[in-house]
Amino acid sequence: MGKTALFGAAGAIGKSIGSALRLQGNPYRVVGRNQQQLEKSFGSDPLAEIVTWNPEDPASVRSVARGVETLIYLVGVPYDQFQLHPILIRKTLDAAVAEGVKRLVLIGTVYPYGRPTTPLVTEAHPRNPHTFKGQMRKAQEDTLLKVHNEGKIQGTILRLPDFYGPDVDASFLHLVFKAAAGGGTADMVGPIDLPHEFVYVPDVGPVVLALAGNLRRMVAGGTSPVSAPSRSAKSRTKPLRCLAVSRNSV
């Protein structure tokens, strides 16, 4: 198995993926802007190679992509700079293609779908974002899918809902669990009667690795890879644990 790199690794999902790689005994590279944050998250893992970068500098991006076979893209941007999403992934893709990276897994969101038009939103649901954030996330996805369709890299997208679990203090559910643990009443962003899907962060790492492995096996078997949602990964590993919150459960 070639080297896996986590671009934008310092957050909770990066830690989850790193833990899954560690359990498999696979060396991996973690890439981020802040050396101190990376050391805090991965410094105790001898399998983790810690590297810093400037995602806006093509030479820096090429340097951290060198020698990588599978690139997992988790790069975040400031909340008021969503326009950077398609720009930064374009720079990463240019560098990855130049360095011979074989596959890229984009850890995406559900925002590109926009308002749901069906009771159940699957990967077949139209992507029609009604917010600027969703539009920029869709542009990010389209940038990857274009390069994938051109045959330059194997690309796939895992669209995740909101998070909860370890190291996710900003989750909608953090205050719910905190209040429940103290026997108090929780504040929630409403309407709380509406079902809302959350993903438990430690479940994400194994799913991401299964998804990347599926891409590897597709090519080995002579099948063209396609943009894959979380379902393709969930069919080969334990399901993601999701939590729907209603008035009766808070």
Q: What is the CATH number of the domain that holds 207?
A: 3.40.50.720
Is 245 part of any domain? no
- Give the pLDDT score at 121: 85
- Give the pLDDT score at 234: 34
- Give the pLDDT score at 57: 96
Is 131 part of any domain? yes
Is 189 part of any domain? no
- Give the pLDDT score at 222: 39
- Give the pLDDT score at 123: 85
Is 172 part of any domain? no
Question: Are 63 and 91 within 8 A, CB to CB?
Answer: no
Please name which of 183, 208, 197 lies closest in space to residue 245, comparing C-alpha atoms: 197
| Look-up of token digits 């069906």 | 118
- Give the pLDDT score at 110: 92
pLDDT by 10s per residue, the chain, length 250 = 689 999 999 999 999 999 999 999 999 999 999 999 999 999 999 999 999 999 999 999 999 999 999 999 999 999 899 999 999 999 999 999 999 999 999 999 999 999 999 988 888 899 999 999 999 999 999 999 999 999 999 999 999 988 888 888 877 788 888 888 888 888 877 777 777 788 999 999 999 999 998 877 665 443 333 333 433 333 333 444 434 333 333 3
Is 154 part of any domain? yes
CB-neighbour burial class of residue 115 (10 A; exposed 0-12, middle 13-18, buried 19+):
exposed
Is 184 part of any domain? no
Range of the domain at 29: 3-160+202-235
Total domains present in the chain: 1
Task: Give residue 205's identity as a one-letter amino acid code.
Answer: G
Is 190 part of any domain? no
Is 246 part of any domain? no
- Give the pLDDT score at 223: 35
- Give the pLDDT score at 218: 60
Q: How far apart are CA 108 and CA 209, in angstroms?
A: 15
